């Protein structure tokens, strides 16, 4: 038994549990909550490509969610285009917008960059709220778009039950985690880490930091827009504030920062820990104290930044490694005297 074997077995077990949940949990309400949990884990992992590895703090990613949601929905309602194809189109549009936003903002540092991304994101939301038509496209301003549940089936990305949505967002989440893992161990990942921590030193060694960050921004925007299409088909109704709000952008960043940005597990852990808090605060205090979940997130973020500045994934990883070491020490040693570390 080796550390790699245990890690692989743990991942396989997690995968089996994740794919088996709908077979045991039949409640549509709980499946809906878990789908949203996976949705936010996906969003935060996508954000992490630029907000974690590139070392910047974008706070306008909800704009890309909205671009993906509106593109696929408008193409489907007005032109009969499959949401699956509209999802890809929305992803490319969001990637282009991400590059256009990144070109001027990546020249800024610290709070100036964050404020600039907020301005861009809010500008796009305000535009969608105050415009009925965008060229030949009818986006209906603040009234939003409703998707009639008339033609169900995989081709139309529309189902009568929660289980298909569950498996779609689960596969999307696994895919974005695998993609992030690949990027983190590629040349681009090393360039992003170097440019995020010491940009001047990286540039002195010949690293094109600006180009690496633009590539990360384009990929992050593309992946985030895909989630927008999922959300539109999952809820069957979108309006600017539901998919482009500043609250959503903050929530994505909070989850990553608290979980541990720049890591693979951080965004996932952050979503698992914080999304239930958000859901239950909305259920019990949504009418009397709207926005309470953001206050809770902010409080937790302050505590984490004081006591665990690298996020909650670091202490949890230490606990996991200690447990792993104890298992390896207690495991019977092979005849050939193999070492287990």
What is the SS3 assignment for 214?
A: helix
User: By the 8 A CB rule, do 75 and 62 touch?
Assistant: no
Q: Strand, coil or helix: what is 290?
A: coil
Give me the DSSP letters along 48-105.
Answer: HHHHTTT------THHHHHHHHHHHHHHHHHH---HHHHHHHHHHHHHHHHHHHHHHH
Q: What span, in angstroms and rounded, lies between the C-alpha atoms of 227 and 176?
A: 11
Per DSSP, 134 falls in state: E
Q: Quickly tell me which residue has 């991304």 as its tokens.
A: 117
Q: Pick from 265, 214, 224: which is nearest to 248 by CA?
A: 224
**Tally of CA atoms within 13 A in the half-sphere of 325 that contains its CB:** 6
CA–CA separation, 146 vs 232, rounded Å? Answer: 9
Inter-axis angle of helices 313-330 and 266-285, nearest 10:
120
Strand partners, 158: 153
The pLDDT tens digits along the chain (341 residues) read 687 888 888 889 999 999 999 999 988 988 999 999 999 999 999 999 999 998 889 999 999 999 999 999 999 999 999 999 999 999 999 999 999 999 999 888 778 899 999 999 999 999 999 998 888 888 998 899 999 988 889 999 999 999 999 999 999 999 999 999 999 999 998 888 887 767 777 888 888 888 999 999 999 999 999 999 999 999 999 999 999 999 899 989 989 998 988 889 999 998 988 888 777 777 777 667 777 777 887 888 888 888 888 888 888 888 888 888 888 888 665 544 444 33
Can you list the alpha helix ranges (DSSP code H) found in 286-338?
A: 292-307, 313-330
Residues 6+ apart with CB under 8 A from 259: 44, 265, 266, 267, 268, 269, 270, 271, 273, 274, 311, 312, 313
CA distances to 111, 242, 243, 269, 293 from 258, in Å: 18, 23, 22, 9, 14
């Amino acid at each position: 038994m080796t550390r790699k074997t245990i890690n692989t077995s743990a991942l396989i077990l997690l995968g089996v549990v994740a794919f088996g949940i709908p077979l045991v949990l039949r409640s549509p309400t709980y499946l809906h909550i878990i789908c949203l949990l996976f949705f936010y884990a996906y969003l935060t992992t996508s954000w992490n490509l630029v907000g974690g590895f590139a070392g910047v703090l974008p706070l306008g990613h909800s704009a890309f969610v909205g671009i993906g949601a509106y593109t696929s929905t408008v193409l489907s309602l007005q032109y009969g285009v499959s949401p699956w194809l509209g999802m890809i189109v929305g992803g490319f549009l969001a990637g282009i917008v991400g590059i256009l936003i990144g070109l001027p903002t990546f020249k800024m540092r610290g709070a100036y960059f964050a404020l600039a991304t907020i301005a861009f994101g809010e500008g796009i939301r305000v535009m969608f709220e105050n415009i009925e038509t965008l060229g030949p496209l009818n986006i209906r301003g603040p009234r939003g778009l409703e998707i009639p549940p008339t033609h169900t089936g995989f081709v139309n990305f529309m189902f009568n039950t929660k289980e298909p949505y569950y498996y779609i967002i689960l596969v999307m989440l696994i895919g974005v985690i695998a993609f992030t893992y690949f990027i983190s161990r590629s040349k681009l990942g090393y360039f992003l880490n170097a440019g995020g921590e010491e940009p001047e030193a990286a540039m002195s060694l010949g690293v094109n930091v600006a180009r690496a960050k633009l590539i990360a921004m384009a990929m992050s925007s593309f992946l985030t827009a895909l989630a927008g299409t999922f959300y539109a088909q999952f809820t069957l109704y979108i309006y600017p504030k539901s998919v482009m709000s500043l609250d959503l952008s903050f929530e994505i960043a909070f989850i990553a920062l608290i979980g541990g940005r720049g890591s693979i597990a951080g965004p996932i852990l952050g979503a698992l820990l914080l999304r239930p808090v958000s859901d239950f605060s909305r259920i019990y205090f949504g009418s009397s104290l709207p926005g309470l979940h953001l206050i809770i997130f902010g409080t937790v973020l302050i505590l984490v930044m004081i006591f665990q500045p690298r996020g909650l994934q670091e202490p949890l990883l230490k606990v996991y490694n200690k447990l792993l070491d104890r298992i390896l020490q207690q495991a019977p040693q092979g005849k050939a005297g193999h070492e287990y570390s």
